[in-house]
Each structure stands twice: as structure tokens, then as C-alpha cells.
Amino acid sequence: MINLKIIFMDIQRLKTILLGGLVASSIFFSSGCAKEGGIDTSSAAKDFIEAWIKEFHPEATRAGLGIYILEDKPGTGAGLTDDDFFVFVEYTATDLDGNISSTTDERLSQQVGTYAAADYYGADVLIRDRYYSPVGVLEMIDGMRVGGVRKAVIPGWLNVNDDYKTAEEYEKKGSGSNIIYTISMKGKTSDITQWEIDSLGRYVMINMGMAPSDSVFKGYYSKTLKQPTDTATFGADTNFYIHYTGRLLNGHVFDTSIEDTAKVHGIYSASKAYSPMYVSPAEDGYENYTIASDATSTGSTTVKGFAYCLSKLRPFEKVVCAFYSELGYGYSGSGSSIPKFAPLVFEIEVVPEPESD
């Protein structure tokens, strides 16, 4: 279960996760040992970044362990406290030449030609821990308030997920990529699970006509959109077919089995076969339900919330199910289309078996 500061991640995997999934790789210097061939690469890296700052941004303010703040627009909202372990940020990352490597800004992504309709754009969850997020990014947001925008240069040796005490230790332990972040702080919370529950409550009131208290169980809502032809659910020995569409709470469609829906939302792929999906129930529990393109294909399991929704379906029923990320993709999200800690919404309809060609 996801609780404050207790998140089920392998510690080695944590050390590779950076803001928005951006993994740092060395561009200018080795990220291995601090000395190569008798040359102190940590000293060379430091000399380089200091010379770059002096040449292009002499007005920059050095802060913390050695980041350089270029611009700072104070926010008018609440400031961070020690309990705010989760921060909602929008950001753009560039190299020192201004080439964009990652952004949460949809319009900017369109301008630079990296936009994809299937991708999520919007606030990302930054976890305030050096094993989860680059130490330089954490240094950068220190002292910010909600609504604030800050732009800073993070030297490569601070674009890492390590926990040392001094700037000198970071400088000597190798380097990631020098990077410039522009970060806008959109919100914060000490309890990401409660934030999701509250978000779901607002969603179901507006979009499903339900009260927040109408959850089937914690973090899970379901509503019938089309009545079934039979009141009994499918047995563990009964296979059936469905169409489905998956959304985020902001309406972003990230997946569907319906071709027209995929085209409308710009996520159509010619390599995907859009057709009813074959559902195979499991006698040993709903979590082992599988879906496949047809009865002859190898099925794959689904996230728990989707599987639970399948387990309650009745013949030719259509439902909408909404659930928090503990029943979805949790702390990691899924690819570029589902962010971390994202509640999910699925419309699922039981349909007739497709006719054979």
C-alpha cells in the first residue's frame, strides 16, 4: 500500500528515477570515477560550469550545494514544509545550449516537434527524497512557494540520485549531465493517497453524478451506464468480449480498443488491431483475469482496478469504473501516457463475440 514515505520500490531502482522519468546521462564528462588517466575530471567539470556561468549568466545566484539560480518568480501560495513529501510541478529541461530534452508543457512540445497525442502533459509528482529525485532538483525547489517559477542550472554532479553531505563529496563522485530546469510549483501534499481520494471524489461528483461517499471500497467507484441483460455476473468458467476506453481524470484518453475513439483522440496506431478484447476469468481471484486480442492469443493481466471491474460485469452491461493509483500504476505510472500517482477511469462494455472472417 502507498503511504507517506513508505513506497514499495526497490532501492536500487529508486536511484535511477529522475524527475518526469528523465534519466541523466553524461554528455561532457564521465559519470564514473572522479579521476581518469591522472586527470581530475571532477575539477575539470567544476571549472567548466563556473566558466560557463561567468560567460553567459554572470548574474546567476549560487545556492545550496552548488546550483545556479537564473530566474526566480516568487509564488504567493503556501511554502513547503518538512511534511510536504510530494510536490506537483511543471517543468522544462534543456542542455546548456538550450536544446529541450524534456517538458511537461504541451504547447512547447508542439512547437519543438516532440508532441504526441498519447503523451500526458501537465503537473508531475516530484518526490522529495534524494533516492527518488535528483539532488539538484530538490535543492532547486527549496524555499519555493506554490505559484512560484524558478529557473536554475544544475551541474552534472548534482543531477544524480545520491545522498552525500557536502558539495565536495558530490563533485568528487562523478557527474551526470549539466542541465537547466525551469520549474513551476503547482501544489504540494504530505499525503498523496488522500490527495488522490479527494481528486476522485471531485471527479465522480462532476462526471459520474455520485457522492464521494458512494465508493464501493476505498479508492474505487463504479456506475452502470447501460443495464445488463442478466443480473448474474459471469462465472469463472465463462469467457466474454469487451470494448474499453481508459482516461485520466483530466479527460486524457491513453488507451482504447475502439478504432473511432482512438482516431478522435489522436492516439490511433496502424499497428494495433482495434477489436473487442477477449476476457478470461480466473478461478483463483479477479487479479488473475486476462485480456487478449482473441481466444487464440496469449492474454495479459491488467491492473487491479480494471480487473475488479471485469469481475463484476454482467452480460452486455456497460460500466464506468474510477480508481486510485494503488489499483492502477502507482508510483511509477506507465510510459509517457500515465503519470505517477494517477487515478484512472475506464469505460467497459460487454459486447458480442466478433464474427469470424
Mind listing the pLDDT tens digit for each residue in 140-164?
A: 999 999 999 999 999 999 999 999 9
Question: Which amino acid is present at 12?
Answer: Q
The fraction of the chain above a pLDDT of 90, given in percent, is: 78
pLDDT of residue 349: 98
Residue 71 has a CB neighbour count (10 Å cut-off) of: 12
Q: Which residues contact 57 (CB under 8 A, 6 or more apart)?
A: 68, 70, 153
Mind listing the pLDDT tens digit for each residue in 307-332?
A: 999 999 999 999 999 999 999 999 99
In terms of phi and psi (left: phi > 0; alpha: psi -120 to 50; beta: otherwise), the region of 313 is: beta
Per-residue confidence at 17, pLDDT binned at 50, 70, 90? very low
C-alpha cell at 159: 543531477
C-alpha cell at 91: 517543468
The mean per-residue pLDDT over the stretch 35-53 comes to 74
Question: Which amino acid is present at 67?
Answer: I
Q: What domains are there in the chain, each with its CATH number? A: 11-190 (3.10.50.40), 193-351 (3.10.50.40)
DSSP calls for 20-57: GGPPP--SSS-SS-SEETTEEHHHHHHHHHHHHHHHH-
Rounded to 5 degrees, φ, ψ at 304 are -60, -40
On whether the CB atoms of residues 329 and 248 are closer than 8 A, the answer is no
Mind listing the pLDDT tens digit for each residue in 18-43?
A: 333 333 322 222 233 333 334 456 78
* Angle at 131 (CA atoms; ends 85, 34), nearest 5 degrees: 140
DSSP calls for 281-350: --TT-GGG-EEESSTTSPPEE--HHHHHHHHT--TT-EEEEEE-GGGTTTTT-BTTTB-TT--EEEEEEE
